[in-house]
Chain A
Amino acid sequence: MTSDVQLATRPADVSARDRVDAAKNLVVSFVLNGKPLSVAVAPTELLADTLREGLGLTGTKVACGTGDCGTCTAILDGEAVRSCLMLTAMVAGKTVETIEGLAGESDIHPIQQAFIDTGAVQCGYCTPGMILAAKALLDENPKPSADDIKEAISGNLCRCTGYTKIIEAIDKVANAVA
């Protein structure tokens, strides 16, 4: 695993450390939405910032920045995680999915379609995180109960919908793939 991260030489003093940090001295290789890539980042760089600022994938949102709201949800090796509380260095050798990776060439993902059909989107800010939390759930548990759905999205805040339509949309996809 260490081969995925190239480490800079240990800085001798604080000013040298600052220079090393600014120099984006880590090269991190991972698979993003099915495609292998390498990015050069500072050790302090958060995955959410690499996705948004470095790679232009702005579907991943940052709202609270403290792991509470879920707008920064990404899927890491099949599991929903918070990209705002994760160093980019930590995804070396792993597989990351963001909302941009869900749609196929001609069709959007069934969960995305269900959110549209059900009216589960209002302002839209929580939507990418909600959809990714739902995808992680359905990939592992294709026939979730209403409680399973509520539990899976309980780490994603929505201030518009009251959640009812979101739960309905996820339930609809689960039933449709039967």
Chain B
Amino acid sequence: MRPFHYERAATPAAAVKMAGTTPMSPDQPSVATPVQYLAGGTNLLDMMKIDVMRPDRVVDINAIAETRHGGIEVSDDGMWLGALARMAEVAEHADVKHRFPVIAQSLTLAASQQLRNMASIGGNVLQRTRCPYYRDTSYAECNKRDPGSGCAALGGFNRMHAVLGTSKACIATYPGDFAQALIALDARVEITGAHGHRSMAFAELHRRPDDEPHMETRLAPGELITAFTIAALPWARRSKYLKIRDRESYEFALASAAVALDMDGDIVREARIALGGVATVPWRASAAEHEIQGKRLDERALAAAAEAAFADARVFEHNAFKIALGKRTLTRALRETAAMET
């Protein structure tokens, strides 16, 4: 690992202030940002060990977990999750499991117990792609690491790569699980930075690669995620995360679906669908939602939803199977969610 200067911050304001003393360019690749916040470290330190991320300064924000931002607050109106809450704390929280099951399931299925004990939920949503060409600096071509250098995955081994939201510049898959659950529950993300606090729909946080795959999120340099908020919407309780992978533990999704349904008998009153493992960003499948809203969830509606979800899919040499797998993952998740007792 390359040397860096280490500092600690005990509050979000202190962290942002520390980060702000280094000039940072807004269009710099996210891997090249000279200051990085360190929470659980499970992704950042891995990325630093393989020399993809090379921060000059690391601001350890773990002490913020001692504040409200390390906690979980549940009320009748919904839930507030501090960004420094650990994946395990959220996944094992009784109210989360009962009232927002898709959240708990996505976190449990995301990583081993040891990693869940360490990793913060704020860091989790920012984890970097597992694209092997991005992670291996011996490949010069990676537009995410080095803008304009090309994409080795396009002509490489791309079985694990995305079929939705790709561009000519990048086909790397967003690797996480929790983010899809947040989208299914219309979560918002709270952010603090040198210019104050702001919040946005979580679904807006990640940017599709287009011709700037090095710009992964809408966070400005030095901005810090402080919390997620989730309203107690009618579809929160009837929600589920289904993850399909090559093996049952510590593996990333080939295809996954976060589904939340508000049912009136067997009619879908409202639906939320987010897909993982198949897209470049946490992917809201709005067209699929539209196909089942107001309808009986029969085979025809399920097939229409699956068709709509992948209508714009684009496959590469080794990943054509992801369309069929993604459709089946989605229809199974919808069936199982509709059948839930709530």
Contacts and interface: CB of A to CB of B under 8 A. Distances in A.
A82 B117 CA distance: 9
A86 B118 contact: yes
B6 A67 contact: no
Contacts of A145: none
Interface in A35-89: 42-44, 46, 65-68, 70, 73, 76, 79-82, 85-87, 89
Interface string A98-135: 00000000000000000000000000000000000100
A43 B113 contact: no
B71 interface: no
A175 to B, nearest CB: 21
A31 interface: no
A81 B1 contact: no
Interface in B1-50: 1-8, 10, 38, 41-42, 45-46, 49
Contact of A43 (B3, B49, B112, B249): B3
A46 B112 contact: no
A76 to B, nearest CB: 8
B150 to A, nearest CB: 26
B118 A85 contact: yes
A21 B10 CA distance: 23
Contacts of B41: 85-87, 90
B117 A85 contact: no
B321 interface: no
B56 interface: yes
B114 interface: yes
B126 interface: no
A17 B10 contact: no
B21 to A, nearest CB: 9
Interface string B143-186: 00000000000000000000000000000000000000000000
A8 B3 CA distance: 14
B139 interface: no
A2 B60 CA distance: 10
B115 A65 contact: no
B232 interface: no
Contacts of B56: 17
A43 B6 contact: yes
Contact of B113 (A2, A89, A90, A133): A133
B85 to A, nearest CB: 14
A18 interface: yes
A79 to B, nearest CB: 4
Contact of A67 (B38, B42, B58): B42
A73 B63 contact: no
A10 interface: yes
Contacts of A156: 112
A42 B117 CA distance: 24
Interface string B102-139: 00000000011111011000000000000000000000
A68 B247 CA distance: 13
B88 interface: yes
Interface in A4-50: 5, 7-8, 10-11, 17-18, 20-22, 26, 42-44, 46
Contact of B63 (A2, A46, A79, A85): A2
B7 to A, nearest CB: 7
B317 interface: no
Contacts of B7: 7
A44 B4 CA distance: 7
Interface in A136-169: 136, 151-152, 154-156
Nearest to B116: A155
A82 B42 contact: yes
A1 B8 contact: yes
B264 interface: no
Contact of A151 (B46, B113, B118): B113
25 contacts: A1-B63, A5-B8, A7-B8, A8-B5, A17-B5, A17-B56, A21-B3, A42-B3, A67-B46, A73-B114, A76-B117, A79-B88, A79-B117, A80-B114, A85-B41, A86-B45, A87-B60, A89-B60, A90-B60, A90-B62, A154-B249, A155-B114, A155-B115, A155-B249, A155-B250
Nearest first, the 8 A-B pairs at minimum CB distance are A155-B112, A21-B3, A43-B6, A79-B117, A154-B249, A44-B1, A1-B63, A80-B114
Interface of B: 1-8, 10, 38, 41-42, 45-46, 49, 56, 58, 60, 62-63, 66, 88, 111-115, 117-118, 249-250
Given A7-B8, A68-B250, A87-B41, 14 more contacts: A2-B8, A5-B6, A10-B5, A17-B5, A22-B3, A43-B6, A44-B1, A44-B2, A66-B49, A81-B114, A85-B115, A87-B45, A89-B60, A133-B113
